[in-house]
């Protein structure tokens, strides 16, 4: 399953809930809800970093009013979760007992599926 996007700030382990975009020609930093996809030249931020962001002198910050919420799971996330649950629910093939004679024998020359074992020449 895909892991959630993380905050772009160095060493921040928190989940991203906002996206920071710089609009250079307007000297503006825009902090809005998390974009659907990670884009180049944007930065994903956790809530504390989104709330405390400051812009360079002379720049404005336009910040989303309201709560930043984690994105809902995507269809890909739900499908991956369902597949993981199905895989975990599959019965495990029984293991042969430890005393099985085949486990203790040396391999014998012969045919094994689509491969053929050729005995060494002496």
Q: Are 15 and 7 in contact (CB under 8 A)?
A: yes
Q: What pLDDT sits at residue 120?
A: 72
What digits encode the pLDDT tens for the residues 13-47? 999 999 999 999 999 999 999 998 888 899 999 99
What digits encode the pLDDT tens for the residues 42-57? 999 999 999 999 998 9
What digits encode the pLDDT tens for the residues 63-110? 988 777 766 665 665 566 666 667 666 676 666 665 555 555 555 555
pLDDT more than 90, % of the chain: 40
Cα 44 to Cα 8, 67, 94, distances in angstroms: 5, 16, 47
């Amino acid at each position: 399953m895909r892991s959630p996007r993380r905050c772009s700030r160095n060493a921040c382990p928190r989940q991203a809930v906002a996206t920071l975009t710089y609009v250079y020609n307007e000297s503006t930093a825009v902090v809005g809800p998390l974009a659907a996809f990670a884009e180049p030249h944007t930065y994903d931020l956790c809530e504390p970093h989104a709330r405390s962001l400051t812009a360079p002198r002379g720049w404005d910050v336009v910040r989303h009013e309201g709560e930043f919420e984690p994105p809902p799971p995507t269809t890909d996330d739900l499908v991956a979760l369902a597949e993981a649950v199905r895989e975990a629910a599959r019965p495990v093939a029984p293991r042969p007992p430890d005393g099985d004679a085949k486990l203790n024998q040396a391999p014998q020359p012969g045919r094994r599926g689509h491969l053929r074992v050729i005995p060494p020449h002496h």
